[in-house]
């Protein structure tokens, strides 16, 4: 009984319900939906964002945020394109772009972890600065003409119908779940997100953990940017612009607290599936992109409101007798004592 109610109360359960509704709706609306090509397509159009969302989950659970990811993606793509245009061998260009991403992450991490500046400010500066660097590299040119193998990486299926990036995503998802739920590092991420002073007083090297997360964020954003370049076949200075908001939306809808300390990758994976399938379904139903964005915005607002509303309803029920509900509402928010405090 209690297990059932706690399962029902879990955010993931709600997400699963929404996902089922979206999928059923899509199946009902379009005969093409269930075709394997379409299902691959569901992921492919956003594959770079969802790869970055995995790292973003760690960062937000850790109580930080990285707004610079989309700019790092763009910068890495531009570095690859610029070096390729200048005649540098493609593998070397990719390596350099990855190192640039790593450096961007390390730069963010240094200010956040070791100097103690708020990540919102630091990575906002990164968002502007790295984007600026990307635009300087490419000016207003569009550079393409990548080698075939590079384009194939993003555009051709690798195993069966699945392209490289999709396989990479699933491998990374499993690795991320294991790291977050089953390793000491993952536990540290949660503890620091809850209360970093508790972590420090427990002998955890808080600065190192944060530094590692930002470096990983920069590196993986660069990787995603390179994959994006491969899929698009051409790069401009504004490639990946604005992606950070979609990425953060996926993480927050997945039930990760913006204040840090709680959330799961299962939730984020479900929220990714919901957003992608919703977009796909709406596209199949010929709903325009702007409306799609509106619907997803509404979903995010609901995702923030619903848990709070649920909490209010519960406390109304608990406090309603014998006082009137209106009065009970006034006192909600005060600590509920007694029941849980006693051993």
Partner 1 sequence: MRPNLHFARSPIRLNVVTPESRGQAPILEMRRISKRFDATQALNDVSLTLYPGEVHALLGENGAGKSTLIKIMTGIHQPDAGQILLDGRPVQIHNAMHAQSLGIVAIYQEPMVFPDLTVAENIFIGHAERNPFMRWGQTYRKAREILALLDVKLDVRMPARGLTLAAQQAVEIAKAISLNARVLIMDEPTASLSAHEVEQLFKLVNTLRERGVAILFISHRLDEVFSIADRVTILRDGQWISTRPRNEVTSELAIREMVGREITDFFAKTPAVRRGELLLSVHNLGKAGAFAGISFDMYRGEVLGFAGLVGARRTDVGLALFGIEPADSGEIVFEGRPCVISSPQQAMQLGIAYVTEDRRQLGLSLPQSITANITLPLLRRYAAAFGLLNFKAEAETAERYKQQLSIRAPNVRVDVGKLSGGNQQKVMLAKWLNTKPKLLILDEPTRGIDVGAKAEVHHIINELAQQGIGIILISSDLPEVLGMSDRVLVMREGRQMGIFDRAEATQERVMAAALGQSPASDEARPAIQEVTL
Q: Report the residue number, 87 or 203, with the smaller CB distance to partner 1.
A: 203
Applying CB under 8 A, the residues found at the interface with partner 1 are 178, 182-185, 187-188, 190-191, 194-195, 197-205, 261-262, 319, 321-323, 327-328, 330-331, 334, 336-343
Specify the residue, 159 or 184, whose C-beta has the smaller distance to partner 1: 184
Query: What are the tokens at 330?
Result: 């006034």
- 58 near 180, Cβ under 8 Å? yes
Between 38 and 205, name the residue whose CB sits nearer to partner 1: 205
CA distance to 218, 259, 302, 307, per residue, from 14 (Å) = 32, 21, 12, 10
Closest CA to 248 of 31, 49, 37, 4: 49
Least spacing, CB of residue 259 vs partner 1, in Å: 11
Task: Quote the DSSP letter at residue 336.
Answer: P
Of 87 and 116, nearer to partner 1 (C-beta) is 116
Tell which residue, 20, 14, 54, has the closest CA to residue 302. Answer: 14
Cβ closest to partner 1, residue 65 vs residue 199: 199
Q: How far is the CB of 129 from partner 1 (least distance, A)?
A: 32
Q: Give least dist CB 328 to partner 1, A.
A: 8
In whole angstroms, the minimum distance from the beta carbon of 209 to partner 1 comes to 12
Please state the closest distance from residue 181 (CB atom) to partner 1, in A: 9
Cβ distance to partner 1 smaller for residue 30 or 262? 262
Cα atoms in the Cβ-side hemisphere of radius 13 Å centred on 196: 16
**Looking at beta carbons only, is 149 or 259 nearer to partner 1?**
259
Are the CB atoms for 72 and 240 separated by under 8 Å?
Answer: no
CB of 317 to partner 1, least distance (A): 12
What's the angle, vertex CA 276, arms to CA 275 and CA 277, rounded to 5? 95
CB of 341 to partner 1, least distance (A): 6
Question: Least CB distance from residue 206 to partner 1, whole Å?
Answer: 10
Complex with partner 1: residue 125 or 204, whichever CB lies closer: 204
Counting beta carbons within 10 angstroms of the beta carbon of residue 129, is it exposed (0 to 12), middle (13 to 18) or buried (19 or more)?
middle
Phi and psi torsions of 143, nearest 5°: -110, 130
Tokens found for residue 72: 């790092």
- The contacts found for 138-143 with CB under 8 angstroms, 24 or more apart, are 138/78, 138/81, 138/82, 138/235, 138/236, 138/237, 139/237, 140/236, 140/237, 141/236, 142/234, 142/235, 142/236, 143/81, 143/82, 143/84, 143/85, 143/234, 143/235, 143/236
């Amino acid at each position: 009984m209690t297990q059932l109610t706690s399962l029902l109360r879990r955010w993931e359960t709600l997400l699963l319900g929404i996902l089922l509704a979206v999928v059923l709706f899509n199946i009902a609306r379009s005969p093409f939906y269930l075709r394997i090509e379409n299902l691959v397509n569901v992921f492919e159009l956003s594959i770079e964002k969802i790869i970055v969302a995995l790292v973003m989950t760690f960062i937000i659970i850790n109580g930080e945020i990285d707004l610079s990811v989309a700019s790092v993606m763009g910068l890495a793509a531009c570095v690859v394109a610029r070096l390729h245009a200048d005649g540098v061998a493609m593998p070397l260009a990719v390596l350099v772009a990855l190192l640039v991403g790593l450096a961007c992450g390390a730069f963010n991490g240094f200010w956040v972890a070791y100097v103690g500046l708020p990540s919102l400010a630091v990575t906002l500066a990164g968002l502007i600065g790295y984007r600026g660097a990307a635009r300087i590299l490419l000016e207003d040119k569009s550079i393409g003409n990548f080698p075939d193998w590079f384009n194939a990486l993003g555009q051709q299926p690798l195993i069966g119908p699945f392209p490289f990036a999709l396989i990479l995503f699933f491998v990374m998802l499993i690795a991320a779940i294991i790291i977050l739920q089953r390793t000491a590092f993952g536990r540290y991420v949660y503890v620091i997100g809850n209360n970093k002073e508790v972590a420090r007083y427990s002998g955890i090297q808080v600065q190192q953990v944060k530094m590692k997360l930002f470096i990983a964020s920069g590196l993986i954003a660069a990787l995603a940017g390179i994959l994006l370049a491969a899929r698009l076949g051409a790069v401009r200075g504004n490639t990946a612009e604005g992606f950070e908001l979609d990425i953060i939306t996926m993480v927050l809808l997945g039930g990760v607290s913006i204040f840090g300390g709680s959330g799961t990758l299962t939730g984020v994976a479900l929220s990714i599936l919901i957003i992608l399938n919703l977009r796909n379904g709406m596209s199949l139903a010929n709903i325009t992109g702007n409306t799609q964005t509106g619907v997803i915005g509404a979903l995010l607002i609901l995702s923030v409101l619903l848990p709070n509303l649920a909490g209010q309803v519960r406390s109304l029920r608990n406090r309603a007798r014998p006082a009137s509900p209106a009065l009970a509402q006034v006192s909600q928010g005060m600590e509920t004592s007694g029941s849980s405090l006693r051993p």
